[in-house]
Amino acid sequence: MRSPESEFEDVFLDNYERLVSSLTAIVGDRELARDCVQEAFIKASTRWRKISRYDDPAAWIRRVAINRSRDHLRSSTRRQRREVLVSPDAGIDADSTGLVDSSITLGALLRTLPERQRAAASLYYLEDLPVADIAVSLGISDGAVKYHLNQARSALRVVVERQEQRHG
Amino acid sequence: MASGDNDRLRLDRDDELVDELLRQEFARSFAGGERSHMVLNGLGPSIRRARRVHRAKQVVLGAAAGVALLSGLSVVNRLAVFEESELTVAGETKQEAVKVDVEEGEHRELTVTLTTVESTTRPSDPAGDDGQAAERDEGMVPTTGPSSEPVSSGRDSTSTSQPSSASTTASAPTSTTSLVSTSIGPDGTTTLISRCGSLVVKPTGDRVELIEILPDPGVGVDIKESGPTEIEVGMEGNGRHCELKVRAHDGRIITNDGPESEHERG
For residue range A33-42, list pLDDT tens digits in order.
999 999 999 9
Asked whether residue B171 is assigned to any structural domain, the reply reads yes
Q: Which residues of A touch B (CB under 8 A)?
A: 1, 4, 9, 12-13, 16-18, 20-22, 24-25, 30, 34, 38, 41-43, 45-50, 104-107, 121-122, 125-126, 128, 153, 156-157, 159-160, 163-164
Per the structure, the complete domain to which residue B202 belongs is given by 39-261
Average pLDDT value for residue range B232-257:
82
CB-based burial of residue A88 (10 Å sphere; 0-12 exposed, 13-18 middle, 19+ buried)? exposed
Asked whether residue B169 is assigned to any structural domain, the reply reads yes
Predicted pLDDT of residue B101: 41
- Strands (DSSP E) along chain B, which ranges? 87-88, 94-103, 106-114, 122-123, 141-142, 165-168, 179-184, 190-194, 197-204, 207-215, 220-226, 230-237, 240-249, 252-255
What dihedral angle (degrees, nearest 10) is formed by the CA atoms of A12, A16, A19, A22?
-160
Considering only CB atoms, B18 lies closest to which of A1, A30, A157, namely A157
Q: Answer yes or no: is pLDDT of B106 > 60.
A: no
Q: Cβ contacts of residue B204 below 8 Å, gap of 6+?
A: B188, B248, B251
d(CA B196, CA B125): 9
Please list every residue in chain A whose beta carbon sits closer than 8 Å to the beta carbon of residue B46.
38, 42
Asked whether residue B15 is assigned to any structural domain, the reply reads no
Please list every residue in chain B whose beta carbon sits closer than 8 Å to the beta carbon of residue A22.
30
**Residue in chain A nearest B51 by alpha carbon:** A46
Range with lowest mean pLDDT among A111-125, A152-166, B109-123: B109-123
The proportion of chain B whose per-residue pLDDT surpasses 70, expressed as a percent, equals: 48
Asked whether residue B13 is assigned to any structural domain, the reply reads no
Predicted pLDDT of residue A132: 92
Q: Answer yes or no: is pLDDT of A111 > 70.
A: yes
Q: Does B38 touch chain A (CB under 8 A)?
A: no
d(CA B181, CA B145): 7
**Residue in chain A nearest B15 by alpha carbon:** A153
Range with top average pLDDT, A121-125, B170-174, B205-209: A121-125
d(CA B68, CA B2): 80
- Test A16 with B34 for CB contact under 8 angstroms: yes
Note the maximum CA span of chain B: 91
Average pLDDT value for residue range B13-41:
80
The proportion of chain A whose per-residue pLDDT surpasses 90, expressed as a percent, equals: 45
By three-state DSSP, how is residue B242 classified? strand
Distance from CA of A76 to the nearest CA of B (A): 22
Average pLDDT value for residue range A116-141:
92
Q: How many residues does chain A have?
A: 168
Asked whether residue B84 is assigned to any structural domain, the reply reads yes
Distance from CA of B10 to the nearest CA of A (A): 12
Average pLDDT value for residue range B59-83:
62
Please list every residue in chain B whose beta carbon sits closer than 8 Å to the beta carbon of residue A106.
25-26, 29
Range with top average pLDDT, A9-18, A102-111, B33-42: A9-18
Please list every residue in chain B whose beta carbon sits closer than 8 Å to the beta carbon of residue A45.
47, 50-51, 129
Predicted pLDDT of residue A119: 93
The residue of A21, A23, A61, A100 whose CB has the most chain B CBs within 10 angstroms, and thus the best one to mutate to test that interface, is A21
Angle at A163 between CA A162 and CA A167, to 5 degrees: 115
- Test B50 with A42 for CB contact under 8 angstroms: yes
Q: ipTM > 0.90?
A: no
Whole-structure pTM value: 0.47
CATH says A1-100 is which class? Answer: mainly alpha
In order of B30, B179, B218, B242, the CA distances from B236 in angstroms are 48, 14, 8, 6
Q: Return the bridge partners of B231, or none.
A: B226, B246
CATH 1.10.10.10 domain residues, chain A: 101-168
Architecture of domain A101-168 in this structure: Orthogonal Bundle (1.10)
Closest CA to A93 of A106, A80, A107, A76: A80
Q: How confident is the model at residue B219 (pLDDT cuts 50, 70, 90)?
A: confident
Contact B115, B235 (CB under 8 A): no
| Domains identified in chain B, total number | 1
Angle at B168 between CA B164 and CA B170, to 5 degrees: 160
Q: Does B206 touch chain A (CB under 8 A)?
A: no
Q: How confident is the model at residue B128 (pLDDT cuts 50, 70, 90)?
A: very low
Alpha-carbon Rg for chain B, nearest whole angstrom, is 25
In order of A15, B44, B73, B201, the CA distances from A9 in angstroms are 10, 10, 43, 24
Q: How confident is the model at residue A17 (pLDDT cuts 50, 70, 90)?
A: very high
CATH 1.10.1740 domain residues, chain A: 1-100
User: How many interface pairs between A and B have CB atoms less than 8 angstroms apart?
Assistant: 114
